[in-house]
Amino acid sequence: MMNDDSPDAFRNVSRKPGMQIWTINNMQLVPVPAQGFGNFFEGDCYIVLHITEKKGSGQSADIHYWIGNSSSQDEQGAAAIYVTQLDEYLGGSPVQHREVQGSESPRFRSYFKNGLIYKKGGVASGFRHVDTNAYNVLRLLHVKGRKHVAATEVEVSWNSFNNGDIFLLDMGKAIVQWNGPQSNRREKLKAVLLAQDIRDRERGGRAQIGVVEGGNEEDSPELMKVMMAVLGQRTGQLKDAIPDDKPDQVQNASVRLYHVFENSGNLVVQEVATQPLTQDLLHSSDCYIVDQRGSSVMVWKGKQASKEERREALNRAVGYIKAKNYPSSTTVEVMTEGGESAMFKHLFKSWRDKGQTQGLGSTYSLGKIAKVDQVKFDVMELHARPELAAQQRMVDDASGDVKVWRIENLELAEVNPSTYGQFYGGDCYLVLYTYQRSNQQQYILYMWQGRHATKDEITACAYQAVNVDNKYNGAPVQVRVVMGKEPRHFLAIFKGKLIIFEGGTGRPGVVNPDPGARLFQVRGTDELNTKATEVLARASSLNTNDVFLLKTDKTCYLWYGKGCSGDERVMGRAMSDVLSRQDKQVVMEDQEPAEFWVALGGKAPYASDKRLQREEPPHSPRLFECSNQTGQFRMTEVDDFAQSDLDEEDVMLLDTWEEIFFWVGNLANQQETKEAWNSAQEYLRTHPAGRDPDTPIIFVKQGYEPPTFTGWFNAWDPHKWSVSNSYEEMKKKLSDAASISQITVSPGGMGGGSYRAPGGPVSSPPLYRVHGGDLFTPSSPAGGTVSPSAGGSGMYLDPQLLINKSPSELPQGVDPSQREEYLSDADFENLLGTTRPDFQRLPKWRQNDLKKKAGLF
């Protein structure tokens, strides 16, 4: 037991990566066994500690305290005290989160990928450790949610059902999933995954699952018999679909920063600033509240703040919520200086972590991806290490094929290759880049929009991009490029010859008006990262850190600022040869001839702060599910994201700060897909950190993900999409594996007594079909080779009848591809070296590998 008085109350807390959960019982902390993770009693409070190993920078920890809807004030108070103590025990670095049943944060939900289960009652009403061999279960779970699933225990009765949701009738040995006629495929798939999780985690993999489509109940007569046996005959119509309690959170552009302190015993909350916030507003000696207009409240504790202030941070946040009349379910996060969450940093215009280099150079801070020098790439390494491709925003070394079209009279006109790299602000262009990866052709289609192009031309550019995309069967990754905001790879494909003219057109035969002297700013250190951009031909446009080209009627000046490097000068010289055939005159800063200043309209002050070029500091990538279903752009964050979070029906937004990716699943809503570009611009426009609205937007289709996208995901599987894990496939696997038929259920799903469900008949001992064989009760023999397992939980075969046997030598009724299903748990672990649930989580190729080694393939 852990209590408030005990100095070593947390002596059993593990500091290893992973999750630990405790519940509050009589004001004491009681550990929850791993099999019970994801189950939450509504009358209790829980503390969840999640520790993550970060690459190259130690660990990070999150402490969540979860409040059940019917928990007592005393329990809530005790949980808050334990959270503060646990935080201090772990050195004050964890981020603290307050979670309320039904309104949990994306991070909390990410720990329970298959969903949360809310159970009636609490510890006092009979909490028991989950026993994987116990089948003393009869309950009805009401499942809701598209991305984040939550299942609530409801009365075991037809009265609990409705037409829009999914219900799991859990009878211990068998689970029947009933899908409301108005539920969608994604909800059905999530419910199947939850049912499988219950089977594997709580029943040791030994429960059967059946699925009933509520709109076609006549297709599942045996399962309906089971349901009727438990629930009784259904009378009257089922209730209409219940709309979700609340829509997904709208991005809130309104952010306010408050300084929180005590004055003569009174809590003072003083407004400091509104968005966009900057990091220098936070002082180490103070505590602050960041309020996203009630959608979330975050508390930041400075390292030099008093111990009392730091201890009271969580209580002050809760007090602030009450004072503002915000809902009690408002999300609360408390963090210490240096341990800020990604969500917190995203509210700031810029954020620099301690130890991060200023400007160019390579650094890794807090395991986040920082700015890295542009180097000559080994293309094989980029393909082998997609995380490097993602960091560098480079799919390859830019050695692929390039084709450029200009929009002329709203149609595509091929551009002369001799002028590739020259882009005019009055035009729009399509650039198709082709490269090889794993011996397959890959495509990127860039849509470059000139600042002075007409609306019709910009529209035609998008329209023609669709035509090109269709020509290549939808394979190209589409990238919107706004003039002046070209992504790194775009620069690289023009090999140091990218020149952007402010206005005019590159159309043949069109004479652009003579602007007189023209000034170009050159930035870059090699041919992969250099471009020249036309700027106003005035002295005030100069910058001491860069190279400039000044082109006049008579000569071309190469101006070298004092802060530029030798590499930058070399690239400036190369660029001047592309821009002009005239003689070049090198001009060093502070040694300019009079004619130079005359061409620029006279000498004037310019940026002369000699320092390294400021780079955008790194931000952690964030993934969102996007929805326009209500007519308003809404997004749900997916924390601790993985490839498995990309559902085929989704439109997802991946924000890597420097670029925005839109990922579109093969079965995504067409309207959402059509509006994806607008949605991305809306996201940038409403971002609380005041983001650049011209940030490159990259459109990626399922199955055609470039390494610059996949590199942000841990362990990306390129074959995932070729192996179908759709709802229909999962349902077929369940029905192939075993059928639940003629099953009637006692309270435990086993023999030993009968049970009358509300309105239902008295049950008789259950009958089971094991592995597609004959029906029998657990006490009945089923032939000489089959014997009940020790726990009476199923019928299994002697391993010698299965190992290294041809299909014709196997006992009758055994599926040759599923031999492991006929082993007892002990034989299974002995032969395959892993437990049944762990085996089921392995990829198919790994399962087959283990089966071959065991002679079961």
pLDDT band at 361 (very low <50, low <70, confident <90, very high): very low
Return the higher-pLDDT residue of 179 and 314. 179
Residue 429 has pLDDT above 90, yes or no: yes
Q: Which of 345-359, 382-396, 638-652, 786-800 tops mean pLDDT?
A: 638-652
Percentage of the chain modeled with pLDDT above 90: 13
Question: What pLDDT is stored for residue 357 in this prediction?
Answer: 35
Question: What pLDDT is stored for residue 55 in this prediction?
Answer: 57
Domains of the chain from N-terminus onward: 10-125 (3.40.20.10), 139-231 (3.40.20.10), 256-347 (3.40.20.10), 391-611 (3.40.20.10), 617-711 (3.40.20.10), 799-854 (1.10.950.10)
Question: What pLDDT is stored for residue 482 in this prediction?
Answer: 84
Q: Which residues pair with 796 in a beta bridge?
A: 787
* pLDDT tens profile 213-250: 988 888 888 888 888 888 888 888 888 877 654 544 44
Residues 441, 492: Cα–Cα separation, whole Å = 19
Return the higher-pLDDT residue of 366 and 649. 649
Instruction: Tell which residue, 306, 320, 314, has the closest CA to residue 257.
Output: 320
> Which of these ranges, 46-60, 349-363, 688-702, has the smallest mean pLDDT?
349-363
Question: What pLDDT is stored for residue 560 in this prediction?
Answer: 93
Question: What pLDDT is stored for residue 572 in this prediction?
Answer: 92
Residue 600 has pLDDT above 60, yes or no: yes
Residue 463 has pLDDT above 60, yes or no: yes
* pLDDT tens profile 9-45: 677 788 888 888 988 877 778 888 887 888 898 888 8
- 30: which residues sit within 8 A by CB, 6+ positions away? 1, 22, 23, 24, 123
pLDDT band at 559 (very low <50, low <70, confident <90, very high): very high
Residues 346, 635: Cα–Cα separation, whole Å = 15
Mean pLDDT confidence for 357-375: 30
Mean pLDDT confidence for 450-467: 89
Question: What pLDDT is stored for residue 766 in this prediction?
Answer: 31
Mean pLDDT confidence for 459-463: 89
pLDDT band at 388 (very low <50, low <70, confident <90, very high): low
pLDDT band at 420 (very low <50, low <70, confident <90, very high): very high
pLDDT band at 768 (very low <50, low <70, confident <90, very high): very low
Return the higher-pLDDT residue of 282 and 620. 282
Residue 701 CB: number of other CB atoms within 10 A? 19
> Which of these ranges, 56-70, 380-394, 476-490, has the smallest mean pLDDT?
380-394
The radius of gyration of the chain's CA atoms, rounded to the nearest angstrom, is 32
Return the higher-pLDDT residue of 815 and 47. 47
pLDDT band at 383 (very low <50, low <70, confident <90, very high): low
Residue 659 has pLDDT above 90, yes or no: no
CB 10 within 8 A of CB 86: yes
Residue 590 has pLDDT above 70, yes or no: yes
560 DSSP assignment: E
Name the residue type at position 741.
Answer: S
Question: What pLDDT is stored for residue 5 in this prediction?
Answer: 43
Question: What pLDDT is stored for residue 85 in this prediction?
Answer: 85
Instruction: Tell which residue, 662, 667, 670, 633, has the closest CA to residue 647.
Output: 667
Q: Which of 32-41, 47-56, 255-264, 714-723 tops mean pLDDT?
A: 32-41
Residue 769 has pLDDT above 50, yes or no: no
Question: What pLDDT is stored for residue 129 in this prediction?
Answer: 40
Helix (H, G, I), strand (E, B) or coil at 273: strand
Question: What pLDDT is stored for residue 415 in this prediction?
Answer: 93
pLDDT band at 371 (very low <50, low <70, confident <90, very high): very low
pLDDT band at 256 (very low <50, low <70, confident <90, very high): confident
Residue 390 has pLDDT above 90, yes or no: no
Name the residue type at position 445.
Answer: L
Residue 267 has pLDDT above 80, yes or no: no
Q: Which of 24-28, 152-156, 783-787 tops mean pLDDT?
A: 152-156
Residues 641, 637: Cα–Cα separation, whole Å = 9
Return the higher-pLDDT residue of 170 and 110. 170
Tokens of 625: 């599910």
Percentage of the chain modeled with pLDDT above 70: 79
* pLDDT tens profile 704-759: 888 788 878 766 776 776 655 667 777 776 766 555 654 444 433 333 333 223 33
Return the higher-pLDDT residue of 347 and 63. 63
Question: What pLDDT is stored for residue 597 in this prediction?
Answer: 93
Cis peptide before 799 (omega within 30 of 0): no
* Helices assigned H by DSSP within 532-641: 566-579, 594-599
CB 667 within 8 A of CB 646: no
> Which of these ranges, 224-233, 385-394, 731-740, 811-820, has the smallest mean pLDDT?
731-740
72 DSSP assignment: -
CB 48 within 8 A of CB 66: yes
State the average pLDDT for the chain.
76
CA angle 248, 249, 251 (to 5 degrees): 135
Residues 158, 758: Cα–Cα separation, whole Å = 9
